[in-house]
Structure 1
Amino acid sequence: MSTAGHGARQQQEAARRSVEEAERQLAAARAREHAWSAGAAGEEQVANALAGLEQQGWVVLHDVAWPGRPRANLDHVLIGPGGVLVVDTKNWSGTVTAHPDRGLRSNGYRKTKEVQAVQTARQALLHLIPAVSPDIVAGLICLAAQDQEPVRLDGDVLVVGRAQLLQHVLDRPTVLGAQAIMETAMTLRAALTRQPSAHVPAQAGPGRAPRSVAKPRAGSTRSRKRPTRSPRSDIIQLAAIGVFVGAAVLFPEQLMDAYMSLVNAVVAPVAEDIGQNLQDNMVPTTTPAP
């Protein structure tokens, strides 16, 4: 025999788990928003630190496409007398150390993947400019929130603080002339510019004509780009779900009364109007006189 309130307690427990899950997702969304916000702020600070380079014969590219990786980007690419530099900005908090033997660490955790990513980015640039000697293409990690004199890690990745970055770039020995800088910059600018996404036609096989790409008609909803969801909108939606679930647990009767009031206030008048319109539009049938 079931005890009184057993079913309600089960529903309460299920609702409690839903609230906990919503709160967990809300906390995760807030953490992602904070990380992206900190990363954007660090890139802006480094860009400001590099502002004087163009007057010294350098070409500076910010937030460009990563070749072969549609969802990734390169924070900064510099082309100038000192060579070609790909700079990855890290806006880490806490204690950050860089040592030739012990590597790069943040709060005691070794950042091996981050160093390898810079090495991969450097190789991607080398494939784009094969005429340039590999010796003059370098990968840098810039610490936006720490002072750090240049330290070369294993794998030829350099770590430098934001305050020391500009001077390090200007102190590099001259390896490219003005003509080479212009040609290299033009090649990289064209290759690293993000292209709008488009439908790619299927490759034609032997004896097969390539399929044409259908262009969206004017006014067609298929040609509209779906707006990007921001972390803030996810937070608002999760918070709304948590409030609704909490209200359902704490005030079930009040919530049902509010729902029925909404139905009576909105649905019933609409149904009455529809019925009246149908009755008004009915054509009366006439019976011929005998």
Structure 2
Amino acid sequence: MVGESARECARRQDEKAARHRRAAERYERGADGEQATAEALEPLVAHGWVVRHDLAWPGRPRANIDHVLIGPGGVFVIDTKNWSGEVDVRSQVLRQNGSARQGAVTSVAEAADAVSAAIGGVTATGVLCFTGDRPRGEWVQDVLVCSTSGIAELLAARPLVLDADEVDNLVRRAVITLPLATDHRARKARAERNARGGTPPRRPVLRRSTRRRIRSALTRSGVTLAVVAAVVFAAPRIAPALTDLFSKDLVASVVKVGDPVDVRGAGQRPDLSVTVVSVKDLPDPGSEGSGGGGTVSTVSGGELSDGDHLVAVRLKFENTGEVAWQARAVPNVSIETTSGASFDAERWLSAGGEEFSGRPHVKPGRSVSVRALVELPRDAQTKSISVTPDGSSGTLHWEQ
């Protein structure tokens, strides 16, 4: 048919544009929510509190922290949510339209831990703040769940734990260790441009006499020859030691899906064996044979974008140590596509298909299997999977 290929290209571009519009709308709602929270926190400034907005998340270059509040009542890390539907807390579980949303609680708890480490170990409390007037102030584990209408009153009523000098010291430390997310990303972008071949500005060269230039060149040449000679002489002696040093605790940087990777214990974490067992697409709830309202609709809470699909990364954590392992935070799981884009897991399922908090608990000699769910665009193809079990393990990689 005449023009069929052009029409197909137009259809794909329309779908891509629609995805971008939906993403832009989500970001716009998020920005509106953050502005509402900032306005709600403003009255606390007159009572000795200091609030900073949109900060870089230490160790996570693609993530940011919405608000950090430091004052007489302590340090609070606030994540703003502008969710639709009914949001409430029942039996210590955060729910949206009846579906558990424990991932949001875990995320802000991790952010609080990161801020605490960045400012010297002072306890930081995670807060989930929803636009509107509900929830009114509930606790889920160590996270306060509240709304913009009541957050200032709740925090102002907290017991006094910091004096004015301590607040000032923590704020100065936070300014250094928690830069603005926009500044942090700009520096990272400049570094990436330089790594791709960007030319740094050239320093001005002072004119010197010919004799001085020759003397300087001879000196540099002599030093260079001396260094080369020393390296040649010492290389046979130091090479084995350097090899042992740099390979002592390392595993292969990339392995195939299905192969286990050993992770040595650190701190309270025992030795582990981590395996990406499989990577599979989940069926579309509207497709034939899915039964409608199947796994995708259950885990997505009705928010799966048109044309996107869910990928289930099945993981196995085996405790090969001598003490039980309780993950302090949800392991970070991400998929890199063949186009170079990266997408993080947002939800977790247990081996039985039930929603799971994402924090494994494994006894010595036992293992647990879970599935991390990642939302990908329709045409995206998985290239590799990255898993960070915790902050001290490093990131492990598997190729599809």
Q: Same fold (TM over 0.5)?
A: yes
Q: Aligned partners of 1:112 and 1:216: how far apart in 2?
A: 49
Distance 1:52 1:21, change over 3 A: same
Larger radius of gyration: 1
Equivalent residue in structure 1 for 2:68, among 43, 64, 77: 77
- Pairing 1:37-116 to 2, within 5 Å after superposition: 37-101=28-92, 103-116=93-106
Equivalent residue in structure 2 for 1:144, among 118, 131, 137: 131
Q: Does 2:123 match 1:123? A: no
Amino acid at match of 1:199: A
Does the residue aligned with 1:163 lie in a helix, a strand or coil? coil
What CA RMSD, in Å, does the superposition of the two structures yield over aligned residues?
A: 2.2
Deviation at 1:172, TM superposition (A): 0.5
Are the aligned partners of 1:85 and 1:140 in contact in 2 as well (CA < 8 Å)?
A: yes
Does the residue aligned with 1:105 lie in a helix, a strand or coil? strand
Match of 1:35 in 2: 26
Match of 1:193 in 2: 179
Does the residue aligned with 1:152 lie in a helix, a strand or coil? strand
Match of 1:285 in 2: none
Q: Aligned partners of 2:108 and 2:90: how far apart in 1?
A: 17
- Pairing 1:232-271 to 2, within 5 Å after superposition: none
Match of 1:215 in 2: 200
Does the residue aligned with 1:130 lie in a helix, a strand or coil? coil
Are the aligned partners of 1:64 and 1:74 in contact in 2 as well (CA < 8 Å)?
A: yes
**After TM superposition, what 4+ stretches of structure 1 lie above 6 angstroms from structure 2?**
none
Deviation at 1:16, TM superposition (A): 3.1
Deviation at 1:29, TM superposition (A): 0.9
Q: Aligned partners of 1:23 and 1:163: how far apart in 2?
A: 40
Deviation at 1:113, TM superposition (A): 1.8
Q: Aligned partners of 1:52 and 1:100: how far apart in 2?
A: 32
Are the aligned partners of 1:76 and 1:87 in contact in 2 as well (CA < 8 Å)?
A: yes
Q: Aligned partners of 1:147 and 1:35: how far apart in 2?
A: 20
Match of 1:170 in 2: 156
Count of equivalent residues: 193
Amino acid at match of 1:143: F
TM-superposition CA deviations, 1:112-159 (whole Å, max 9, x none): 221111011011012123352x3xx200000013422111013x1110
Match of 1:250 in 2: none
Are the aligned partners of 1:66 and 1:72 in contact in 2 as well (CA < 8 Å)?
A: yes
Are the aligned partners of 1:93 and 1:145 in contact in 2 as well (CA < 8 Å)?
A: no
Are the aligned partners of 1:144 and 1:162 in contact in 2 as well (CA < 8 Å)?
A: yes
What fraction of aligned residue pairs are identical, expressed as a percent? 37
Are the aligned partners of 2:118 and 2:174 in contact in 1 as well (CA < 8 Å)?
A: yes
Q: Aligned partners of 1:38 and 1:58: how far apart in 2?
A: 27
TM-superposition CA deviations, 1:38-68 (whole Å, max 9, x none): 0001100110111111100001111111111
Amino acid at match of 1:57: G
Amino acid at match of 1:170: A
Amino acid at match of 1:216: P
Q: Which has the higher strand share?
A: 2
TM-superposition CA deviations, 1:220-266 (whole Å, max 9, x none): xxxxxxxxxxxxxxxxxxxxxxxxxxxxxxxxxxxxxxxxxxxxxxx
Q: Aligned partners of 1:146 and 1:110: how far apart in 2?
A: 20
Gaps of 5+ in 1: 1-8, 201-212, 219-290
Q: Aligned partners of 2:89 and 2:202: how far apart in 1?
A: 56
Deviation at 1:100, TM superposition (A): 4.1
Distance 1:107 1:14, change over 3 A: farther
Equivalent residue in structure 2 for 1:179, among 134, 158, 165: 165
TM-score by length of 2: 0.45
TM-superposition CA deviations, 1:146-185 (whole Å, max 9, x none): 422111013x111001101010010111011111111011
Q: Which has the higher helix share?
A: 1
Amino acid at match of 1:190: I
Distance 1:131 1:13, change over 3 A: closer
